[in-house]
Amino acid sequence: MTDLRKVDINLIVVLDAILTEKNLTRAGELVGMTQPSVSGALARLRQQFDDPLLVRAGRGFELTPKAQELVPVVAEAMGEISRVYDLSPTFDAATSTRTFLISASDYLLSQLTGPLLRILEDVAPQINIECDALPADANVSPSDLLRRDVIIAGTGRGVPGKRQSLFSDRFVCIVDRSNERLLGGKLTITDLQEMQHVRSFFGSAVQTHVDDMLSSAGITPRIAMSVQGFLPVPHTVSGTPFVGFVPERLATQSAETLGLVVTGTEPPRAILVEAAHWHPSKNGDPAIQWLVKLLRDASEVVEFGDAGFVTDRA
């Protein structure tokens, strides 16, 4: 008998998609994973079954005889998994004492935590929210999604799973108000090329929205300092000749107290869209769907303020 403790049950979901679609890209779309992630899962499945499972046939792919044998078995397994979720108790937010684990950036938590906790106090006073940092290097895997209820990260960063957009912001340039390069409140492309930058760091392999924006403008920034996340950037720029890019809400909140100026710059400003991501296997969990709705409601407060906001989440 196979020791299930040594089996990654998550691979069954991927295997089912591969057997159904016979195409890695379409399989990824079906389960909310990127094509490279599905390819990596297929490599593990091939090793586990000692069979290629999916082979090229002309311009497409076909299943091997072993994979054909697995089709009904995997379909039955997926049915059993679904039945387990169907037997799960219903979720009542008003009486639940569940603890949800959410991973997010420092900036996201600084904006969302207040509205989220105020709403929770009204509709689900016994529910707890625990937060931790994004996975190392922000390279989120399906297993990371399994270990957490929700991961909140910017779209376009290759995070797998199902997702729901929460709120958006745009990146702006900040400098100390006494910076001698400021002319009419603006910096030029030459200024940005020559000045030293404070860069937000999320991992050695992570290309940020700001990196993409500067690259598209032909700017290779001179990095004076790298800081973890967005929140330290305004404090690091304050009182120095450095320049930095942060989400506009953060810049507005810190400009007056830290003596900063939000400058007009020539590069097109990058847009940050924060989204909640969860594992496809949790799509039928009413508690996760409630949590995502809660995050969306809190995000509406971030976007539009408390005025006129009516809650009906319970």
The tens-digit pLDDT sequence of the chain (314 residues) is 455 455 667 788 889 889 988 998 888 877 778 888 889 989 999 988 999 999 998 888 999 999 999 998 888 887 776 666 555 557 899 999 999 999 998 999 999 999 999 999 999 999 999 998 876 555 666 667 777 899 998 876 667 778 899 999 999 999 999 999 998 889 999 999 999 999 998 876 677 889 888 998 899 999 999 998 899 999 999 999 999 999 999 999 999 999 999 998 777 778 889 999 988 878 778 899 999 999 999 999 998 876 545 444 44
Q: Between the CA atoms of 44, 45, 51 and 57, what dihedral angle is there, to the nearest 10 degrees?
A: -100
- Residue 1 has a pLDDT of 47
Q: Between the CA atoms of 195, 201, 203 and 208, what dihedral angle is there, to the nearest 10 degrees?
A: -70
- In the chain, where the domains are located: 4-86
CATH of domain 4-86: 1.10.10.10
- SS3 for the chain, per residue? CCCHHHCCCHHHHHHHHHHHHCCHHHHHHHHCCCHHHHHHHHHHHHHHHCCCCEEEECCEEEECHHHHHHHHHHHHHHHHHHHHHHCCCCCCCCCCCCEEEEECCHHHHHHHHHHHHHHHHHHCCCCEEEEECCCHHHCCCHHHHHHCCEEEEECCCCCCCEEEEEEEEEEEEEEECCCCCCECCECCHHHHHHCEEEEEECCCCCCCHHHHHHHHCCCCCEEEEEEECCCHHHHHHCCCCCEEEEEHHHHHHHHHHHCEEEEECCCCCCEEEEEEEECHHHCCCHHHHHHHHHHHHHHHHHHHCCCCCCCCCC
- Residue 155 has a pLDDT of 79
In this structure, what token pair is assigned to residue 13? 């979901």
Residue 170: beta bridge partners?
Answer: 271
pTM for the complete prediction? Answer: 0.67
Distance CA(49)–CA(197), nearest Å, equals 50
Q: Which residues contact 174 (CB under 8 A, 6 or more apart)?
A: 233, 234, 237, 243, 244, 245, 246, 251, 255, 260, 261, 262, 263
